[in-house]
Structure 1
Amino acid sequence: MNEIELRRAAVIATQRRFEDKPFDWSKAATCIHLVRFHAAQMGHKVPTVPRFRTALSAKKALLQTGFETLPDLLDSKFERIPPAFARVGDVMALPGDDGWHALVIKGDKVKFLGWHEDAPGCTIMEVDVGSATGAWRL
């Protein structure tokens, strides 16, 4: 399987795992779980995500890893790239709520997999790449 096929297969596997699942801090249905699963599908060795049940306990778990934000954590694991250079299977951070970043996975030119406030669960959505606060090559 060439790189493009691997990337597409990883996105499809991640989509099958998370699509339509509501965002839930306590049920491993968060942006970091999405990215961790996807990174593993891409062949990366990534640590397990600590268990948490609330945004507060998730923040505490993040701080215990030595990072203040999800982009800081991603910077320690993956190469940061300009958002405009993201390819299928790369990860992008968008402004989120309550000090969190929304992490999404690029599916094609303008379609990304992630959670959006207008959708009941994880979904494919269009994203304005210009609003991204960071991107990482997986």
Structure 2
Amino acid sequence: MGEMNGGTMMRREGWERRLSAEIRDWDGRAFEWGSADCLGFCRAVARAMTGADPIPDLPAYGSEYTAAKVLVGLGHRSLEDLVDAHLPRVPVARARRGDWVMTAAEGAMPGAMGVVTGRHALHLGAAGLVRRPVLTAEAAWCVD
């Protein structure tokens, strides 16, 4: 597991390099529920940066329907609710590289999770990674 600081994850030394490498690994992947989706992308980046999965023990799902069933089964009303249960929110304007955002920006699926890379965030779209301005996000969470 990754380093923990009072129950929170900590970015490991060299996290910037790991962030870039993980993004390269996901570049060009097409969206597929349960194996290559927006939450999977965010979780993979967090694991690369911290050595820990911020949402451990998430049951498997293979479609939008089964993903919704998993959320309800875990007691959450939405993906946003699930992430709130595991990561602290930060103001969108304060999100930094490696943090997560949720956006409904044009070209991204509604409620799409993404990873901040600077002024932009990367979201996994139908044909690979899509860049969107961070400030178009509706919510942000800190991945430390």
TM-score, structure 2 normalization: 0.76
SS, match of residue 30 in structure 2: coil
- Determine the structure 1 residue equivalent to 2:118: 108
How far 1:13 moved relative to its partner? 3.0
Indicate the RMSD between aligned Cα atoms, in angstroms.
2.2
> Does residue 93 of structure 1 match 2:98?
no
How far 1:4 moved relative to its partner? 9.4
Question: What is the percentage of aligned positions where both structures have the same residue?
Answer: 27
Mark the CA change 1:16 to 1:129 in structure 2 (over 3 Å): closer, same or farther. closer
CA distance in 2, matches of 1:136, 1:32: 13
SS, match of residue 85 in structure 2: helix
Residue 80 of structure 1 is aligned with which of 89, 108, 113? 89
Q: Which runs of 4+ in 1 moved over 3 A?
A: 3-7
> Does residue 20 of structure 1 match 2:25?
no
SS, match of residue 77 in structure 1: coil
**What code does the residue aligned with 1:81 have?**
V
> Does residue 132 of structure 1 match 2:134?
no
CA distance in 1, matches of 2:87, 2:14: 17
SS, match of residue 114 in structure 2: strand
Q: Output one character per residue of 1:98-119: Cα deviation in whole Å (capped at 9) or x when no partner.
A: xx51001011222x222235xx
- Determine the structure 2 residue equivalent to 1:55: 64
How far 1:92 moved relative to its partner? 0.3
SS, match of residue 113 in structure 1: strand
Higher alpha-carbon deviation: 45-54 or 28-37 = 45-54
- Determine the structure 2 residue equivalent to 1:39: 46
Whether the 8 Å CA contact 1:31–1:103 is kept in 2: the answer is: yes
Residue 8 of structure 1 is aligned with which of 16, 21, 28? 16
How far 1:45 moved relative to its partner? 4.1
Mark the CA change 1:45 to 1:104 in structure 2 (over 3 Å): closer, same or farther. closer
CA distance in 1, matches of 2:62, 2:85: 24
Aligned length: 128
SS, match of residue 13 in structure 1: helix
SS, match of residue 11 in structure 1: helix
TM-score, structure 1 normalization: 0.79
SS, match of residue 125 in structure 2: coil
SS, match of residue 115 in structure 2: strand
How far 1:90 moved relative to its partner? 0.5
